[in-house]
Chain A
Amino acid sequence: DVKVTQSSRYLVKRTGEKVFLECVQDMDHENMFWYRQDPGLGLRLIYFSYDVKMKEKGDIPEGYSVSREKKERFSLILESASTNQTSMYLCASSPPGTVKNIQYFGAGTRLSVL
């Protein structure tokens, strides 16, 4: 079974803190994604990466950065956390190719910024 593991299920941080959300996948997938999920807004793509050290902005990259130093690990960084970044964060990975392109998701990290 494909496993996408997010380091924390719940996280509470203070405004202005630098926050790291970690994601690890064990299926040697090239593509990795970070989404956030908010009520009424669905899932929105923050950043994605299609290879080590490669990254591209998604729909809502402002206030976030990412790091992919190793193929299995994709980190989301909140440079200076703000209350409007309180959300559920979901990491996903998928193999290359586009026809099937199943995305495998982690269980999510619920982040509260106070």
Chain B
Amino acid sequence: NAGVMQNPRHLVRRRGQEARLRCSPMKGHSHVYWYRQLPEEGLKFMVYLQKENIIDESGMPKERFSAEFPKEGPSILRIQQVVRGDSAAYFCASSPPERSNYGYTFGSGTRLTVV
């Protein structure tokens, strides 16, 4: 049973380009969470999604950032017109449908560098 898969592992974008980060949850997990880790900081919650629904996006920047979790396929975190300050590690976690604090699994992250 593969864990949470994130790709790419490393992504380099020039300022103004778009970045698309993908997260495939563990098999049987229907809840996905995105976190951002800025240099020298802990992880900050961004958004919580279930299939085809955004449940909580209170941690998402108001502009340029969007997330989706379609019925089929991975969850996508999209950053438009990237800026240097978007450089960070982005982590995805997933959990099963049952309400639980026990079953969260994190992926290995995507490290975005904006040049």
A binds B: no
